[in-house]
């Protein structure tokens, strides 16, 4: 499985190379309008297309913000469907490091209240832009690659944003991580239709570690 994960990450990073410089030129602080407008343009993150880490890809404390993530997690999920009904479920999520620890891959396969759901994502840090980038593919929206970017604040909470154009106009998708501990973490997805003035939560998860620790396997 590890070589499949590494190949997946390399392909996603390589596919984003053409937009790297444009994205870096528009980035600013987490949550800013400039950062939101750069969504969908994912930079190379100092990792080349053959999967070898660049010279600065994993240097510095910011590059290790997701070091808590590898392992297997029990998930208590509350997810709202299109009708507004909330569904509470329990599932598993697995994450691991790839590319020598410079990137992370995670995946899940379960029922989050709307039928079987399979998803796979990557997280990696771009030292030149000083930003984290998240990509996501799932059976819920086959062929649609979600892309978020953002960072962590002084208290250790992370926020990541993507701007999405829909039939009803433009919305902002936000992913939040907070209360990050060795054994548990809180996660939320929310959307805004007023440029971030107000947010509506659509998915909340409490994740609790089931394995032996960061980097361990259940």
Digit-coded pLDDT (tens) for 66-75: 999 999 999 9
For residue 181, tell me if it sits in a domain. Answer: yes
**pTM greater than 0.75:** no
Count structural domains, the chain.
Answer: 1
d(CA 27, CA 41): 11
pLDDT by residue (tens digit) across 170-179? 999 999 999 9
Residues spanned by the domain of 155: 2-209
> What's 67's domain CATH number?
2.40.128.20
pLDDT by residue (tens digit) across 41-97? 434 343 444 455 454 568 888 999 999 999 999 999 999 998 999 999 999 999 999
Contacts of 88 (CB under 8 A, 6+ apart): 76, 77, 78, 113
Return the SS3 of 62: helix
Q: What is the pLDDT of residue 199?
A: 97
Exposed/middle/buried for residue 87 (C-beta within 10 Å: 0-12, 13-18, 19+): middle
For residue 218, tell me if it sits in a domain. Answer: no
Does residue 202 surpass a pLDDT of 60? yes
Q: What is the pLDDT of residue 100?
A: 82
For residue 217, tell me if it sits in a domain. Answer: no
For residue 215, tell me if it sits in a domain. Answer: no
Exposed/middle/buried for residue 32 (C-beta within 10 Å: 0-12, 13-18, 19+): middle
Does residue 34 surpass a pLDDT of 50? no
DSSP alpha helices (H): ranges in the chain? 2-15, 20-24, 33-37
pLDDT by residue (tens digit) across 131-180? 999 999 999 888 889 999 999 999 999 999 999 998 888 999 999 999 99
For residue 194, tell me if it sits in a domain. Answer: yes
Does residue 184 surpass a pLDDT of 50? yes
Contacts of 102 (CB under 8 A, 6+ apart): 45, 46, 47, 53, 57, 58, 63, 124, 125
For residue 216, tell me if it sits in a domain. Answer: no
For residue 84, tell me if it sits in a domain. Answer: yes
For residue 52, tell me if it sits in a domain. Answer: yes
């Amino acid at each position: 499985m590890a070589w499949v994960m590494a190949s997946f990450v390399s392909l996603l990073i390589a596919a984003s190379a053409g937009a790297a410089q444009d994205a870096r030129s528009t980035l600013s602080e987490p949550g800013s309008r400039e950062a939101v407008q750069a969504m969908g343009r994912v930079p190379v993150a100092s990792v080349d297309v053959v999967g070898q880490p660049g010279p600065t890809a994993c240097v510095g404390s910011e590059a290790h913000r997701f070091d808590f993530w590898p392992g297997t997690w029990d998930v208590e999920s509350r997810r709202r469907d299109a009708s507004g009904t909330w569904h509470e479920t329990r599932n598993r999520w697995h994450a691991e490091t790839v590319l020598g620890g410079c990137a992370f891959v995670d995946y899940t396969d379960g029922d989050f209240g709307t039928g079987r759901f399979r998803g796979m994502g990557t997280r990696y840090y771009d030292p030149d832009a000083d930003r984290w980038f998240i990509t996501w593919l799932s059976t819920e929206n086959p062929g649609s690659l979600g892309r978020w970017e953002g960072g962590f604040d002084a208290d250790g909470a992370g926020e990541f944003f993507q701007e999405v154009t829909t039939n009803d106009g433009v919305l902002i998708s936000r992913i939040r991580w907070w209360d990050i501990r060795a054994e548990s973490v809180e996660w939320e997805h929310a959307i805004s239709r007023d440029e971030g003035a107000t947010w509506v939560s659509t998915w909340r998860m409490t994740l609790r570690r089931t394995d032996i620790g960061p980097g361990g396997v259940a």
